[in-house]
């Protein structure tokens, strides 16, 4: 047996920056093309959030220059509010710092890691400090970002603070990277920005490629979508530990009853009365600071016995049916397009979310050679990687496509768009590329996709029917001369031409497309959603 002292002489403590420095692939830095997409993904998500939060219609410029083999510079410029000097280092160079981590509001970023990870990757691969220019209020601040990975602290170098003479607002972030590559592939920047434009028609996005070509994804809507409301946690979405945390963090309320009403959504004085009846051995008049774990647990159990109004839906802002239709028609011009609009649901008992699903079939989709493609978004951010472990992919694939005349999903000219909208996206990793396969989320995606699939199926079966009718019409028309003669003979009539014309008219009416008397019969019951849960017994992936 080896001496234990030796073993523990290796004991060390590490910063989160050291952790992600060693495990870069967890942040999306694996593979040259993917790494470049990750860089743009983090910066553009931040820019869009910044503009929308400041109430500014986003205008974002991305410029990529090739400096050498697998060596590029990337510049991202936005017209947001800019960042004050006091926060610039932390925002761009410190992990787990920012305005987003703790808030219960629909936004693109939510971790406080992304752009600091990009700065880290620049420093690791080139040792060149990222450069930032922030036009914030009446100041223009230029600086370089330095990071100390051991302590996870950032520092500003070569800081220049000037008057904002130009009266601009926004942030320009520029850095150099190695081990990256620009490719116009399905997982490259171009496709990333194209999809970003598709899901954010209110943003104007410009990409300047390494070959100096500039592509503009023009703004299609002149104003921002409604700003999602920041909400309080729903009583069904908190655990005993959350409740204790909230109780200890607050100072405003001296009674548990008041604290509950102010800390949680949908919790009125009436609901407190109901809770008092259910959780009799908790004193709702005592100080929240004295709340014990046992009491918190009893209250959380009590929550489950009260009937609650669903979470506020204005916390959830989808792209919108009209916008998706517009975007899809612009880009793909499919033969048929079905977009579902569904009301928000909750997962984990109380976290509101909504699923938007669209299915585009045939036409431009076929021309583009696309087959069974799933385009995933979370809060309008395109997800290009890690499709395998994502709820959006798995739920879509689990649909019985045969029911909708789309047996070979992966061989059909079909694009399925899914946007997961929520105040908190349960990403499976820090790289934010896949949504965890929570049962409630899986079910709702499946329902949304099936709803759209039904519409497509109606069209396809209608088309099939139309084809059959057309065939019949042609066959009969071919024999119309003979038929006219026969009828003339049968009726002992004289005017064969007149009979022929009448016959032609009958055939035209009867067998033209969408002919009457040929009611469409739908094979799929309209409300099959209840079945979903039974189908998917195992909650595990």
Helix (H, G, I), strand (E, B) or coil at 88: helix
Residue 26 binds to a second copy (criterion: CB under 8 A): yes
Cα gap 525→529, rounded to integer Å:
9
Residue 57 binds to a second copy (criterion: CB under 8 A): no
**Which range binds a second copy by CB under 8 A, 69-77, 94-102, 204-212, 444-452?**
94-102
Q: What part of residues 119-148 is at the interface with a second copy (CB under 8 A)?
A: 123-125, 127, 136-137
**Which range binds a second copy by CB under 8 A, 53-61, 157-165, 357-365, 528-536?**
53-61
Instruction: Give the position of tokens 């981590």.
Output: 101
The total number of residues shown for the chain amounts to 541
Binding residue (CB under 8 A) for a second copy from 225, 349, 429, 515? 429
**Which range binds a second copy by CB under 8 A, 155-163, 367-375, 426-434, 450-458?**
426-434
* Pairing status of strand 414-422 against strand 373-378: parallel
Q: What part of residues 276-305 is at the interface with a second copy (CB under 8 A)?
A: 293, 297
**Which range binds a second copy by CB under 8 A, 52-60, 323-331, 465-473, 498-506?**
52-60
Binding residue (CB under 8 A) for a second copy from 427, 446, 447, 457? 427
**Which range binds a second copy by CB under 8 A, 238-246, 260-268, 301-309, 471-479?**
238-246
Site string for a second copy, 150-169 (x = CB under 8 A): -------------------x
Q: Least Å distance between CB 526 and a second copy? A: 31
Dihedral angle computed from the Cα positions of residues 26, 439, 409 and 378, in that order, rounded to the nearest 10 degrees: -50
> Which CB, 442 or 452, lies closer to a second copy?
442
CB atoms within 10 A of CB 440: 16
Q: Least Å distance between CB 143 and a second copy? A: 17
Residue 81 binds to a second copy (criterion: CB under 8 A): yes
Q: Least Å distance between CB 242 and a second copy? A: 9
Residue 495 binds to a second copy (criterion: CB under 8 A): no
Residue 540 binds to a second copy (criterion: CB under 8 A): yes
First vs last Cα of the chain: how many Å apart?
Answer: 41
Helix (H, G, I), strand (E, B) or coil at 320: coil
- Sign for the CA dihedral angle at 297, 231, 428, 126 comes to negative
Helix (H, G, I), strand (E, B) or coil at 483: helix
Instruction: Specify the DSSP element, H or E, that contains 156.
Output: strand 153-163
> Which CB, 363 or 389, lies closer to a second copy?
389
Write b or e for each residue in 229-264: b if 16 or more Cβ atoms lie within 10 A of its Cβ, otherwise e. Answer: eebbbbbbbbebeebbebbeeeeebeebbbbbbebb
Q: Least Å distance between CB 265 and a second copy? A: 18
Residue 241 binds to a second copy (criterion: CB under 8 A): yes
Q: What are phi and psi of 143, to 5 degrees?
A: -165, 170
Residue 99 binds to a second copy (criterion: CB under 8 A): yes
Binding residue (CB under 8 A) for a second copy from 156, 197, 238, 240? 240
Q: Least Å distance between CB 89 and a second copy? A: 12
Dihedral angle computed from the Cα positions of residues 322, 327, 328 and 333, in that order, rounded to the nearest 10 degrees: 110
> Which CB, 111 or 200, lies closer to a second copy?
111
Q: Least Å distance between CB 470 and a second copy? A: 39
8 Å CB contact between 401 and 409? yes
Binding residue (CB under 8 A) for a second copy from 44, 60, 76, 97? 97
Q: Least Å distance between CB 465 and a second copy? A: 35
Q: Least Å distance between CB 298 and a second copy? A: 12
Helix (H, G, I), strand (E, B) or coil at 388: helix
Per the structure block, which two tokens stand in for 16? 């989160």
Instruction: Give the position of tokens 């049962």.
Output: 439
Instruction: Specify the DSSP element, H or E, that contains 361.
Output: strand 351-361
Site string for a second copy, 370-399 (x = CB under 8 A): ---------------xxxxxx--xx-----
CB atoms within 10 A of CB 205: 22
């Amino acid at each position: 047996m080896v001496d234990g002292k030796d073993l523990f002489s290796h004991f060390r403590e590490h910063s989160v920056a050291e952790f992600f420095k060693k495990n870069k692939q967890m942040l999306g830095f694996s593979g040259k093309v993917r790494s470049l997409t990750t860089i743009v993904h983090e910066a553009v998500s931040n820019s869009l959030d910044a503009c929308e939060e400041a109430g500014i219609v986003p205008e974002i410029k991305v410029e990529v220059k090739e400096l050498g083999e697998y060596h590029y510079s990337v510049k991202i410029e936005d017209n947001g509010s800019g960042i004050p000097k006091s926060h610039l280092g932390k925002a761009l160079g410190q992990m787990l710092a920012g305005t987003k981590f703790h808030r219960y509001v629909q936004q693109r970023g939510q971790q406080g890691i992304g752009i600091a990870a990009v700065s880290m990757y620049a420093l690791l691969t080139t040792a060149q400090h990222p450069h930032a220019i922030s036009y914030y209020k009446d100041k223009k601040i230029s600086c370089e970002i330095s990071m100390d990975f051991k302590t996870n602290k950032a520092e500003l170098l070569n800081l220049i603070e000037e008057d904002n003479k130009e009266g601009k607002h926004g942030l320009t972030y520029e850095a150099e990277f190695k081990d990256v590559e620009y490719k116009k592939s399905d997982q490259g920047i171009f496709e990333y920005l194209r999809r970003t434009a598709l899901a954010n028609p209110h943003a104007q996005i410009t990409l300047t490629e390494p070959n100096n070509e500039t592509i503009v994804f023009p703004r299609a809507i002149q104003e921002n979508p409604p700003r999602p409301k920041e909400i309080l946690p729903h009583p069904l979405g908190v655990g005993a530990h959350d409740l204790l945390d909230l109780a200890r963090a607050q100072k405003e309320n001296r009674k548990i009853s008041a604290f509950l009403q102010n800390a949680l959504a949908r919790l009125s004085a009436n609901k407190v009365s109901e809770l008092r009846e259910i959780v009799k051995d908790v004193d709702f008049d005592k100080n929240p600071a004295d709340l014990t774990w046992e009491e918190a647990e009893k209250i959380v159990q009590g929550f489950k016995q009260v009937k609650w109004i669903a979470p506020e839906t204005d916390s959830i802002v989808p792209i919108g049916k009209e916008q998706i239709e517009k975007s899809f028609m612009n880009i793909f011009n499919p033969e048929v397009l079905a977009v579902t609009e569904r009301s928000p649901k909750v997962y984990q008992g109380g976290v509101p979310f909504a699923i938007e699903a669209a299915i585009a079939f045939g036409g431009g989709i076929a021309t583009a050679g696309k087959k069974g493609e799933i385009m995933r978004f979370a809060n309008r951010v395109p997800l290009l990687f890690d499709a395998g472990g994502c709820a959006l992919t798995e739920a879509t694939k689990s649909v019985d496509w045969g029911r909708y005349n789309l047996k070979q999903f992966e061989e059909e000219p079909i694009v399925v768009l899914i946007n997961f909208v929520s105040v908190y996206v349960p990403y499976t990793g820090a790289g934010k590329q896949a949504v965890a396969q929570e049962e409630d989320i899986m079910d709702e995606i499946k329902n949304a996709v099936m709803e759209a699939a039904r519409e497509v199926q109606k069209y396809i079966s209608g088309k099939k029917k139309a084809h059959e009718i057309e065939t019949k019409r042609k066959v009969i028309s071919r024999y119309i001369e003979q038929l006219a003669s026969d009828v003339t003979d049968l009726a002992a009539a004289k005017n064969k031409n007149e009979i022929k014309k009448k016959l032609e008219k009958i055939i035209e009416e009867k067998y033209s497309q969408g002919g009457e008397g040929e009611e469409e019969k739908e094979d799929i019951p309209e409300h099959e959603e209840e079945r979903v849960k039974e189908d998917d017994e195992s909650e595990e992936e």
